[in-house]
Structure 1
Amino acid sequence: MSFADVVVIGGGQAGLATAHTALRQGWTPVVLDASTGPGGSWPRYYDSLTLFSPARFSALPGMPFPGDPDRYPVRDEVVAYLSRYAQGLDADLRWGQRVERVERRDGGFVVYTVDGTLVESRMVVAASGGFSRPYRPVLPGLESFTGTVSHSAEYRNPTSFAGARVVVVGGGNSAVQIAVELAETARVSITTRRPLRWQSQRILGRDFHWWLTRTRLDTAALGPRLFKGTQPVLDDGRYRAAVRAGRPDHRPLFTRLDGDRVVWADGSRERVDVLILATGLRPELAYLQDTSALNDSGAPLHQGGVSTTVPGLGYVGLERQRSFASATLRGVGRDAGYVLKALASRAARARVDR
């Protein structure tokens, strides 16, 4: 068994930012990640993924994103950036170490990996992200649908969809980006419960994220409340034009699925080859199930990323955990600083109380 001041579970953007912050505070972090190398979920995203924020707003603490700061980096550039970031950290980064469970012991923790490795620590930060478990909503007839059902997390490129009739469920950035790309080779509809909400990529010549940063809305506590319940699609004009031209077309969510048919809201029925659920992802925190950290649905009980039920446990990388930017490259560093400071403060109070 080895010892660390803090065990960071996850070596993607959230985990690396947390390790960097821990090192700056003089702590010894151990990072455990199931993947074979740094990058988190990024290597598994679809081939054409392009960041919705410019490079200048897409960096982790201590290392600017290289190249033209006003360009929009693609997936492979982010993977390369995270690899370089990991190489520059003087931290114990352990790849291929899937965490099986976390156990509370003697005021601290013991973290167990699948291969039998044990690490003891005073604190644990779950930084495995909020995008590890594809969310599949309850849709009438989905279980008996005889066409192909996949999730956007499984989508890579349009090659295998040529000539198919495809329906994409969801109205977020990825849903629209995937649907527009597919519409070049397939007949595609995007369907949502609510109207698509467009957000211009540039306002008065400045990127949307410049305005968020300047007004501090993306890092303010107001951010999650301001954008709650909306599905803004960042667009430079291309996506909105494609949807208006019917490539893809946009329709209200169907009422049900029946065999290989979709029953639309107007009662019409149509055969569909492929249903792609672009319905988001949820954090995978099963390794915490032996603690009291999760609610009945497996979601973390926390305030601002600090566990409200397990002293010494924190989270970094959850969607909107503290701000609109919490689950982004530009937001995880700020949240890591807040969480580690809060955990250290609580630990110090606990020692005094004894």
Structure 2
Amino acid sequence: MREIDAVVIGAGQAGLSSAYHLRRLGVPAVVLDAADGPGGAWRHRSPSLTMDKVHGVFDLPGLRREPRDDGLLPASVVVPGYYAGYERDTGLEVVRPVTVASVSRDGGLLAVRSDAGEWLARAVVNATGTWTRPYWPYYPGAPGFAGRQLHYAAYRGPAEFAGRRVVVVGGGASAMHVLSELAEVAAGTLWVTRRPPVWRGDDFGEEARREAVALVEARVRAGLPPQSVVSVTGLGSTPVVREAMARGALERQPMFSRILPYGVAWPDGRTAEADVIVWATGFRSALDHLAPLRLREPGGGIRLDGTQVVREPRVQLVGYGPSASTVGANRAGREAASRVRRLLAAETQAA
């Protein structure tokens, strides 16, 4: 088992940011990534999600993304290209593809076990994100649906839904993306959400972002599962929202109570026929490999002090809660690296 000061698990924005700041602070670290190439979750996005449709791609620390006319190119190509250049130009070495099976305590340190070997680390920065854990809620009748059901993670553009009747479930940016594209080709779209959508009338500036992050941080400090971003921020006037609205696709219906073989039904007896159900219902944090550490609180979440896990100070959790977005990932990476350095310095001084 190789000994090292820090292991960073995941090489998306939060992981690369953490690795960059660890190196600047002089902390030896290895970066492990499950994908076979750079880009994090961006490499798996639908080809129809072009750069002019995304909320924004925040620069990684130390290397700005050069402005270019790439608005019509897929984000799944542009962003991984930027990340690949970042790894190359900053000299960050990422070991991939590596699947981390578990992180457990071992003699006061943390044992990181993977299909590429084992490391004994004084600290772990976990940046595994959410893309590999699509959340797919269960509704009565779902197994008997005769049409097709898919999660947004498997959505690859509108062409395959031409002439189909599609129900889109969810109230976030993913649902907006799907509705904006399907409204032009599908025989019909039906948008359903559990709660009425909250529409933002502002441009979601710096102050609004800070307020949103503070709300999510409060839940994380209390040991509760973090809320979805849209439940805090609401829906703004983004390009996909404007496009979906212009095509008449944003007439929201309340959530159905049951799925029929050829449609969906509500408690009041109303029904709607459907060939496809797209579950744009978000993702959950990919944290199964941390289960041996028993980090969860009775409330179901992981209590954090900043990025540091309260139950295990050797673990920094980034890409979770307030940092599970491009807005907070860079700040979280800087904070995680700083906390790791303070932890190692305190241990060295105590010895």
Given the two structures, how large is their TM-score scaled by the length of structure 2? 0.85
Q: Which residue identity does 2:67 align to in structure 1?
A: G
Find the aligned partners of 2:196 and 2:213 in 1 and give their Cα distance.
Answer: 26
Are 2:190 and 1:179 aligned? no
Q: Which among 210, 214, 217 is matched to residue 222 of structure 1? A: 214
What is the match of residue 340 of structure 1? 337
Q: Which among 262, 282, 285 is matched to residue 283 of structure 1? A: 285
Post-superposition CA distance 1:1-50 (Å, at most 9, x none)? 33322100011111111110101101111011111111111111111224
What is the match of residue 20 of structure 2? 20
Find the aligned partners of 2:141 and 2:262 in 1 and give their Cα distance.
Answer: 10
What is the match of residue 317 of structure 1? 319
Q: Which among 243, 255, 258 is matched to residue 256 of structure 1? A: 258
Contact 1:112 1:119 in 2 (8 A): yes
Q: How many residues align?
A: 337
Are 2:90 and 1:89 aligned? yes
Find the aligned partners of 1:171 and 1:278 in 2 and give their Cα distance.
Answer: 8
C-alpha displacement of 1:170: 0.3
C-alpha displacement of 1:225: 6.9
Contact 1:8 1:29 in 2 (8 A): yes
Find the aligned partners of 2:291 and 2:275 in 1 and give their Cα distance.
Answer: 38
Post-superposition CA distance 1:165-204 (Å, at most 9, x none)? 110100101111111201111121111122222335xx5x
Q: Which residue identity does 1:243 align to in structure 2?
A: M
More helix per residue: 2
Are 2:191 and 1:194 aligned? no
Contact 1:134 1:151 in 2 (8 A): yes
Given the two structures, how large is their TM-score scaled by the length of structure 1? 0.84
Per mean C-alpha deviation after superposition, the further-off stretch among 343-352 and 256-265 is 343-352
What is the match of residue 147 of structure 2? 147
Q: Does the residue aligned with 1:218 lie in a helix, a strand or coil?
A: helix
What is the match of residue 131 of structure 1? 131
Q: Which residue identity does 2:95 align to in structure 1?
A: R
Judging changes above 3 Å, is the alpha-carbon distance between structure 1 residues 269 and 126 closer, same or farther for their aligned structure 2 residues? same
Find the aligned partners of 1:242 and 1:275 in 2 and give their Cα distance.
Answer: 18
Find the aligned partners of 2:13 and 2:230 in 1 and give their Cα distance.
Answer: 24
Find the aligned partners of 2:56 and 2:264 in 1 and give their Cα distance.
Answer: 38
What is the match of residue 270 of structure 1? 272
Instruction: Give the superposed CA RMSD.
Output: 2.9
Per mean C-alpha deviation after superposition, the further-off stretch among 344-353 and 42-51 is 344-353
Contact 2:65 2:82 in 1 (8 A): yes
Task: Give unmatched runs, 5+ long, in structure 2.
Answer: 219-228
C-alpha displacement of 1:240: 4.4
What is the match of residue 248 of structure 2? 246
Q: Does the residue aligned with 1:290 lie in a helix, a strand or coil?
A: helix
Q: Does the residue aligned with 2:331 lie in a helix, a strand or coil?
A: helix
Find the aligned partners of 1:238 and 1:45 in 2 and give their Cα distance.
Answer: 15
Find the aligned partners of 2:123 and 2:136 in 1 and give their Cα distance.
Answer: 33
Identity score, percent: 32
Contact 2:183 2:247 in 1 (8 A): no
C-alpha displacement of 1:73: 8.0
Find the aligned partners of 1:119 and 1:72 in 2 and give their Cα distance.
Answer: 42
C-alpha displacement of 1:68: 5.0
Find the aligned partners of 1:244 and 1:264 in 2 and give their Cα distance.
Answer: 27
Find the aligned partners of 1:189 and 1:231 in 2 and give their Cα distance.
Answer: 23
Find the aligned partners of 1:127 and 1:6 in 2 and give their Cα distance.
Answer: 13
Post-superposition CA distance 1:211-247 (Å, at most 9, x none)? 22xx374388535379783462232476346436533
Find the aligned partners of 2:20 and 2:296 in 1 and give their Cα distance.
Answer: 27
Contact 1:288 1:294 in 2 (8 A): no
Q: Does the residue aligned with 1:66 lie in a helix, a strand or coil?
A: coil
Q: Which residue identity does 2:310 align to in structure 1?
A: T
C-alpha displacement of 1:147: 2.2
